Amino acid sequence: MVKNQSWVRKESQTPELLIHEQYHFNLSEVIARKIRREMSNIHTIDAIALQEIYTKWIEISKDEQAQYDKETSHNKINSEQIKWQIKIDNELDSLKEYQNEIIYLN
C-alpha cells in the first residue's frame, strides 16, 4: 500500500468501506501466501522460474481484486461482501503455514 496515494471521499468514509478495503489487503495476503506456497515447491533456485511464478500470481491478483469489487459492487451489495469476507478468511486460514515471509526451498 502506498499511503500517500490512498484516499477516500469524505462523504464515503464509513466503517463498512474500511472493512471492504481491509479485505482488499487480506486478498493480497492470500495471493502472497499462494506465491510462497508455490515457490516453496521449487527444488533449485531458478530466477526465471521464480519470476514466472510471481508474474502469474500478480495477474491472478489483479483479476481477483477486480472480481471482488465487481461482485460486491464496491461494497454496495452487503450479501456479496459477506460471501467474499468468508471466502478470504477461509483461504487465509487454509494457507496459514505460508504466512511467514521466509521461503524455505527444498
Q: Which amino acid is present at 96?
A: K
pLDDT exceeds 80 at position 101: no
Look at residue 100 in the predicted model and tell me its pLDDT: 79
Query: If you average pLDDT over residues 79-97, what whole number do you get?
Result: 97
Task: Tell which residue, 91, 78, 101, has the closest CA to residue 30.
Answer: 91
Give residue limits of the domains in the chain: 27-105
Instruction: Answer whether 52's CB lies under 8 Å from 33's CB.
Output: no
Reduced to 3 states, what is the DSSP secondary structure of residue 4?
helix
Reduced to 3 states, what is the DSSP secondary structure of residue 23?
helix
Look at residue 105 in the predicted model and tell me its pLDDT: 59
Residue 61: all three cell numbers together: 491478483
- Rounded to the nearest 10°, the torsion over CA 85, 91, 95, 99 is -20
Look at residue 40 in the predicted model and tell me its pLDDT: 84
Which pTM does this prediction carry? Answer: 0.85
For 29-66, write each residue's pLDDT tens digit: 999 999 999 988 887 778 888 899 999 999 999 999 99
Instruction: Answer whether 57's CB lies under 8 Å from 34's CB.
Output: yes
pLDDT exceeds 80 at position 1: no
Look at residue 49 in the predicted model and tell me its pLDDT: 85
Count of beta carbons in the 10 Å neighbourhood of residue 97: 10
Q: What mean pLDDT is reported for the chain?
A: 89
